[in-house]
Structure 1
Amino acid sequence: MTGTGRYRSMEEMQQSIIASGCEIVTVAVRRVQTNAPGHEGLAEAIDWSKIWMLPNTAGCQTAEEAIRVARLGREMAKLLGQEDNNFVKLEVIPDPKYLLPDPIGTLQAAEQLVKEGFAVLPYINADPMLAKRLEEVGCATVMPLGSPIGSGQGISTAANIAIIIENAQVPVVVDAGIGVPSEAALAMEMGADLVLINSAIALAKNPAAMARAMAQGVEAGRLAYLAGRIPIKSAASASSPLTGTIAP
């Protein structure tokens, strides 16, 4: 998954989406509807017959706000030709400095939106208990952060994400903090089903090239996970056998 925010131009966004090979793109409903700077004409700039829209509730500080914006997002998707699109990336973020999601507000909004037929993809702290609770109320995925949004710090919550992956019966999406392809690969090597990357692509010197690199990192990480890594040992283990060698 990729996003649509923070690009220097609409052209760079379009090129990056193509280069990434992604199938799902997030759109900030409030910013599109208010024509916020950088979002003018965004909804019309993407071929929604080829890309699945993931409306998100970015900018919402309470559960009530997020529920209202999610409803607007569903209508926006319908207007753009995706009649069956009930997806929403749920963000409830009252903290303006660290942009950390509110676990209580997120759970409250998720419960209501699931009742209204939404496929809810909640953005959360890497909290295994919250992830399980959101799964139990019917969320389609859980989306734990790797590190704070846009920080490029990589995956600093690996231990908790590993627990979430181990226990989840829904897809796990590592969202936020990934800065380079090796970190995207790491998320996939851990067993994540998807990653969502926006800032690392949009703010790169060459966004389209970074998008392509991220795609390759994701593919490599997934293949490595399926292949199965060797056990980690405390001592060396020779790659060539000692039997059958020439005696000194």
Structure 2
Amino acid sequence: MEKNLDKLRIGGKSFNSRLMLGTGKYKTTDDAIKSIESSDCEIVTVAIRRLPTDIKNDNISFLKKLNWEKLWLLPNTAGSQTAEEAIRMAFLGHELACQIGQEDNFFVKLEVISDPKYLLPDPIGTLKAAEFLIKKGFTVLPYINADPMLALHLEDLGCATVMPLGSPIGSGQGLNNLANLQIIIENATVPVIVDAGIGAPSEATHAMELGASGVLLNTAVAQSKNPAQMALAMKLGVQAGRMAFLAGRMEKKYYANASSPLEQISRI
């Protein structure tokens, strides 16, 4: 399928790529930049808490090396333990977007995580922060547990997407919440982005085959032996899964069904 016929639409913007990449945990800045380039992703998420607030600072040279005419910044509120902290990070994220020339960028990946051991998102804090930020004009992409009812509540509030985890962040365990992910995808009228837990391209493909609108990942690429090559593999996995979903899987059958019908053989 041609790219321009199957765009990902979030908050009034359209994207060709359905793969989003994080920018943490890379061994070197060069690894991060090469991975972003080889992935052909268009949305890059950056943890605001880990960055200086002024892009002119030499310590933030990584952001200066990215081509922001082709990329869209997705600031994230990682490290926020309360709704109030997340809201403050969202406003700082918009300031950063303005500094790279994206004054109209009010996107925010909303993370409220008060659990230090398993890093599971706080549903109450997420709802509270999402409601406030939406009223302030932000395009909110909330990171959540694979909870179908929470996903519906966030969609009702006006979130631009829902981003359920496949398994705990950074774990590489894959899609451990298949039943709930399928329910969320079936019920959602906004894009569903599977976020966290994916460790291999086959898992990214599986998420897309389920009907997810996209995949966001970081550790699987950043901690691989060859990040740029893994980023390319993830790109191809996402594309394959999307094409398979659109093509429609064959129906499963209980019995074997010969691929060469007998009536054709009899005529030979």
TM-score of the pair, normalised by structure 1: 0.95
Asked if residue 145 in structure 1 is aligned to residue 145 in structure 2, the reply is no
The 3 A distance-change label for structure 1 pair 74 and 244 is closer
For 1:222 and 1:203, the matched residues in 2 are separated by 25
- The CA distance in 2 between the partners of 1:41 and 1:159, in whole Å, is 42
Q: Residues of 2 paired with 1:101 and 1:76: CA distance?
A: 24
Change (3 A) 1:146 1:17: same
Q: Deviations over 1:66-124 (max 9, x none)?
A: 00110110111011110100000000001111110000100000000000000000000
Q: Secondary structure at the match of 2:263?
A: coil
1:29 matched to 2:48? The reply is: yes
Residue segments in structure 2 that go unaligned for 5+ positions in a row:
1-19
Q: 1:181 aligns with which of 182, 193, 201?
A: 201
Cα RMSD after superposing both structures:
1.4
Q: Say if 1:32 and 1:42, in contact at 8 Å, map to a contact too.
A: no
Indicate conservation of the 8 Å contact 2:143/2:162, yes or no: yes
| Structure 1 position 33, deviation (Å) | 2.2
Deviations 1:111-165 (A, max 9, x none): 0000000000000000000000000000000000000001000111111111001
Match of 2:89 among 61, 69, 80: 69
For the pair 1:243 / 2:263, whether they are aligned, the reply is: yes
Cα deviation 1:205-231 (Å, max 9, x = unaligned):
000000000000001000000000001
Deviating runs (4+, > 4 A) in structure 1?
Answer: none
What does 1:83-102 align with in structure 2 at a 5 Å threshold? 83-102=103-122
After TM superposition, the structure 1 = structure 2 runs for residues 5-20 of structure 1, keeping only pairs within 5 Å, are: 5-20=24-39
Indicate the percent of aligned positions where both proteins have the same amino acid.
Answer: 65
1:55 aligns with 2:75: yes
TM-score computed with the length of structure 2 as normaliser = 0.88
Instruction: Please report how far the alpha carbon of residue 40 of structure 1 lies from its aligned counterpart in structure 2 after TM superposition.
Output: 4.3
Task: Report the CA distance between 1:42 and its aligned residue.
Answer: 2.9
* Conserved 8 A contact 1:151-1:177: yes
Q: What pairs with 1:137-216 in structure 2 (closer than 5 Å)?
A: 137-216=157-236
Matches of 2:237 and 2:63, distance apart in 1? 28
Gapped regions of structure 1 (runs ≥ 5): none
Distance 1:113 1:167 in 2: 24
Q: Which moved more, 1:41-50 or 1:164-173?
A: 41-50
Q: Across the two proteins, how many residue pairs are aligned to each other?
A: 244
Given that 2:75 and 2:108 are in contact with CA atoms closer than 8 Å, whether structure 1 keeps it comes out as: yes
CA offset at residue 238 of structure 1? 1.4
CA distance in 1, matches of 2:24, 2:261: 54
Contact 1:146 1:177 survives alignment (8 Å)? yes
Partner of 1:126: 146
